[in-house]
Structure 1
Amino acid sequence: METLLLFFGIVSAVSAYAFWFYLLARRLTGPKVWPIVGSLPFLFMNRQRIHDWIASNLRATGGACTYQTCTLCLPFLARKQGFFTVTCHPKNIEHILRTRFDNYPKGPQWQEAFHDLLGEGIFNSDGETWLIQRKTAALEFTTRTLRQAMARWVNRTIKNRLWCILDKAAKENRAVDLQDLLLRLTFDNICGLTFGKDPETLSPELPENRFAVAFDTATEATLYRFLYPSFQWRLGKFLEIGTEKTLKQSLEIVDNYMNDAVAARKENPSDDLLSRFMKKRDVNGDLFPTSVLQRIALNFVLAGRDTSSVALSWFFWLVMNQPEIEKKIISEISSVLRETRGDNKQKWHEEPLDFDEADRLVYLKAALAETLRLYPSAPEDFKYVIQDDVLPDGTFVPTGSTVTYSIYSVGRMKTIWGEDCMEFKPERWLSPEGDKFEAPKDGYMFVAFNAGPRTCLGKDLAYLQMKSVASAVLLRYRLSLVPGHRVEQKMSLTLFMKNGLRVYMHPRALA
């Protein structure tokens, strides 16, 4: 009798689950889901091409540009932690980033995973903690002194380091990993701008810097926390094994370096961002403690280093495959320099373009924006849903679930950018006369620099740095890809090239 009751109990439970799963699966619009494991198998199979996989799922929805999936098909979890809404619909993005901004914070999952690395810095905080840092940073980023400081760091690094390394490689006909050089360049620049300390990773010997290596390792280890179930990394942290052990060791190096940087600035304040934040006060009216200042500085390093260098890597790869576009860029740079430095081409090479000269490069800015449309440095972003909501396209999103807006997919949707959306076409960013940069009228068609209250404060500085570096390289060299080198994406929250960008440098003869 007991066996029979157990049998009927199991059958009833399985039947109830099957019916529940049927009701759940029939309203999901994304990749196919399986009982219990949901869409995790497809996510795992496509982990090496995750951004293109997401884009293909969104294209499959036609003009909807939104799909919903479930990674863990279990009651309760399926409505919260396992439930994902993925969209690239501009109206939905505007709703998330501006209209209902307060309903879509970073959320507890994200903050917990990134807390050890980023603490309560501006990129890992919400509410009042975020707002006071945002207001403080906004005041600093609008000052001309910060722009001048950035220009000094960028131009000095180009002239004294980057050109020396590239000239030597060109003379020896030796390939360089341009992505690595750019990462080193932007890392040195942002460290100088943030806490006035130059790690000098971009030197002819390409030295290994303990802080830079530890920072990279910590960033990657933190990413794994977000990709896998939280219990897995919590257990690893408790046992101090695997990536969690690596993260702990890396953070010790990072913390020691940042302790020294904060101590140095307290003794000798300067015009860097850290010195400026040391004078500010938190939500309680107190000066920021050393531990918070460390994380504030690290947040700026993370934002200012990877985004510009990765964007430039994809830019150079696109341009070297489009000679007509490269020709237009060179022509524009030459035209500006002819006006500012005269006809003597030797003077064009004596100094990198200053920021005022770079400001005038309209076509180059269009080419960089077009690069970011196709290869945004941060291809996906994730938001937590505080309260039940309905997106503008009619999609219901439940409390506790996650909304992902795919910046990578936005630029690859014909319904948003037209039939030629996959073409690298800087002209789409220019006025009909071709003399002015014009962003789309719908600002949420392009959110490579975020949008709404969290719009990137360093957007203008990023463009100026990228234009200065791009012109410094292209005016002196023609690039060619090393035969057999494969350019492909790395699985990361930042769109790195998995194998770097191996190129040969060929001296350019200006007409």
Structure 2
Amino acid sequence: MTTMAEMLKWVISGLTFWDLSIALLWVFICSCLYERLAKKGPMMWPVLGILPTIVFNMSDVHNWCTRALIKAGGTFHYRGVWMGGAYGIMTTDPSNVEYMLKTNFNNFPKGSYYKEKFRDLLGDGIFNSDDESWKQQRQLVKLDLHSSRFIQSSFRAMQDIVQKKLLVLLEKFAVSGQCFDLQEVLLRLTFDNICIAALGVDPGCLALGLPDVPFAKAFEEATEFSLLRFLMPPFVWKPFKYFGLGTERRLKEAIKVVHDFADETVRDRRNMLVKLGNLNGQSDLLSMLMESEQGHFPGNFLRDFFVSFILAGRDTTSVALAWFFWLIQRNPDVENKILAEIHEANTRAFTEEGLKDGVSASGTI
């Protein structure tokens, strides 16, 4: 009597390479059809997960993501390459966002999967920390960002950047009739502003001619290549890092430039504090933290803190401004109201109080 094991062995021995290939192809096709027809989210490929879909839409990834979220009703699950450990949920549902960031915030830490990929760049900065470390850094930011000294300094710095750099640059473009990338100009504006506010250093990104600034370029590459790690499974990017290959080699070089710049700035400011005994002439966040009662911070705390701070204020503000001008261009009636308010504001001095009045009045637009 033939046993089940013998029958299975006979079936397997009778299979050819083409039989297996056709069977696997059929499974692949069925999986693709199920993903396409039964699910509302983006295509999840067998074995490769969402990776091919992202690659196919890389040139238009933000619009694709928006369309995918709309199609899925605001929320969809995703997974990455098999055995890569990448899976999660993307959502724009306000109730989900409120639940994660407010109602049940403690239940949504970043976790080791996220922190491992950003550790080389961000270290233990606020964007890469959880629990007590996150709370400590957040408290430091809150105390100094709301101080009158920092607010007044930031206001003066933004005035100088706009009047002495941005308007001069835009006037040059207007006179020459030269086209320019508004989003790039705004990115340079916010990078200069956040570096002045955080470190008291002007990198000069918004200078005439829009020069290449090594620190700014390295910062952009470091964030880009760090994000690429989320598209590759650990068994790919970790060997690349170990042997110094491809994007991991360039990431290491970019991070060195960023960290060297931050370390040098921290070291110079500390030497100034020792020499003068105070930093009252400096109102940037770094100087205020050094003068604070917390005293000396351990290890690379200040470097990691400010790399995260620059990351927080760079892309977010520039992208928001780019969207603002795009929306203004699409809504001429709102543009006319804003222009009228600007003309009215020009009749009085541009002060902090005037800025606050403008913010209050903007509720009528």
Same fold (TM over 0.5): yes
1:140 aligns with 2:144: yes
CA distance in 2 between counterparts of 1:324 and 1:232 reads 52
Residue 4, structure 1, aligned to residue 13, structure 2: no
Q: 1:289 to 1:29 in 2, by over 3 A?
A: same
Unaligned runs of 5+ in 1: 342-352, 366-429, 436-511
What is the one-letter code of the residue matched to 2:255? L
Do structure 1's residue 302 and structure 2's residue 299 form an aligned pair?
A: no
Alpha-carbon distance in structure 1 between the residues aligned to 2:293 and 2:217: 32
- 1:201 and 1:39 map into 2 onto residues whose CA distance is 36
CA distance in 2, matches of 1:132, 1:248: 28
Report the RMSD for the aligned CA atoms in angstroms: 3.3
188 and 86 in structure 1: CA distance in 2 versus 1, 3 angstrom threshold: closer
Residue 241 of structure 2 aligns with an amino acid whose one-letter code is K
- Shift of the 196–39 alpha-carbon distance from structure 1 to 2, 3 Å rule, reads closer
Q: Which residue of 2 aligns with 1:288?
A: 297
Q: Is residue 66–residue 89 contact of structure 1 (8 Å, CA) maintained in 2?
A: yes
Work out the CA distance in 2 between the residues paired with 1:364 and 1:44.
45
Counterpart in the other structure of 1:208: 212
| Aligned CA distance change for structure 1 residues 9 and 364 (closer, same or farther; 3 Å) | farther
Match for 2:331: what amino acid? Q
Between structure 1 and structure 2, the one with the greater Rg is: 2
| Alpha-carbon offset, residue 280 of structure 1 | 5.8
Distance 1:109 1:9, change over 3 A: farther
Question: Match for residue 61 of structure 2?
Answer: 50
SS in 2 for 1:176: coil
Where does residue 275 of structure 1 map in the other structure?
A: 287
Q: 1:332 matched to which residue of 2?
A: 341
Which 4+ runs in 1 deviate beyond 4 A?
A: 5-11, 24-29, 279-282, 362-365
Q: Where do 5+ consecutive residues of structure 2 fail to align?
A: 1-5, 273-278
Q: What is the alpha-carbon distance in structure 1 between the residues aligned to residue 59 and residue 327 of structure 2?
A: 21
Give 1:96-245 correspondences, 5 Å limit.
96-245=100-249
Letter in 1 for 2:264: D
Structure 1 residue 119, shift from structure 2 partner: 0.9
- Give the Cα separation in 2 of the matches to 1:190 and 1:54: 28
Distance in 1 (CA, whole Å) between partners of 2:342 and 2:219 is 35
1:40 to 39, 43, 51: 51
Larger strand fraction of residues: 1
| Partner Cα distance (1:234, 1:358) in 2 | 49
Aligned residues with identical type, % of pairs: 35
The residue number in structure 2 matching 1:386 is none
AA in 2 matched with 1:59: I
1:235 Cα deviation after fit:
1.4
Relative to the length of structure 2, the TM-score reads: 0.82
Deviations for 1:128-154, whole angstroms, at most 9, x for unmatched residues?
A: 111100011111111111111101111
Asked whether the 8 Å contact 1:191–1:199 carries over to 2, the reply is yes
Distance 1:35 1:246, change over 3 A: closer
| Equivalent residue, structure 2, for 1:31 | 42
Q: Equivalent residues in 2 for 1:446-461 (5 A)?
A: none
Mapped partners of 1:322, 1:363: distance in 2: 21
| Matches of 1:8 and 1:40, distance apart in 2 | 36
In structure 2, do the counterparts of structure 1 residues 190 and 94 end up closer, same or farther at CA, with 3 Å as the change threshold?
Answer: same
**Which residue of structure 1 aligns with residue 3 of structure 2?**
none
Q: Equivalences for 1:421-432 in 2 at 5 Å? A: 430=363
Judged with a 3 Å threshold, the aligned counterparts in structure 2 of structure 1 residues 33 and 252 are, in CA distance, closer, same or farther, namely closer
The CA deviation at 1:123 is 1.3
Q: CA deviation at 1:255?
A: 1.9
Q: Distance in 1 between matches of 2:325 and 2:207?
A: 21
If asked which structure has higher relative contact order (CA below 8 Å, sep 6+), I would say 1
1:296-329 alpha-carbon deviations (Å, 9 max, x no partner)? 1111111112222222223223323433222111
Cα gap change, 1:86/1:306 in structure 2, threshold over 3 Å: closer, same or farther? closer
